Amino acid sequence: MSDVIIAVRDFLEMGGQVLNIIALVIFLMWMLILERISFFQSGLISQKSSIQANWSSRSDKKSWNSDAIREQMISEFSMSANQYLPIIKTLVALCPLLGLMGTVTGMIQVFDVMAISGSGNARSMASGVSKATIPTMAGMVGALSGVFFVTLLNQKVTSEVDDLEDNLTADN
């Protein structure tokens, strides 16, 4: 276990300070994604069942008032299902931008080394090049993993809201 911690620490040091920020953003993004997955497996299902039971117990389903109540139920369900998705999408979009910032800061370090030691010293430039490429890679990996799950979450929200709309009809 300590070898893993040492390897992660060394990796974070190779990427510079920007890599720490990227790691924090990816951690926060994944905590929110896991929260949404957990909510979809338990809370959303019970909320949907509760709304359907509430609608089924109504005697009046065809008036303007009942239609407004139906729309309110669907809207509240949709808001609950979409909670945190805009934040997750923002964090996904932020990952490559932070990776680009890491590239810029790493290249600044390369140019500083070139200004001090000349352009022929490849070993002194290697540290700056790693600080330029590692954050870019980390930002892209974080964004790609987030994009996949955001797409899945959006599809789940859309299908659940559509299903609820279909179930809450005036015919039931």
Low-confidence stretches of the chain (pLDDT beneath 50):
172
Residue 85: per-residue pLDDT? 94
Please give the pLDDT value at position 57: 80
pLDDT at 45: 86
Question: According to the model, what pLDDT value does residue 172 have?
Answer: 47
Task: State how far the alpha carbon of 108 is from the alpha carbons of 71, 95, 119, 123, in Å.
Answer: 55, 20, 14, 16
- The candidate with the shortest Cα–Cα distance to 24, out of 74, 80, 95, is 95
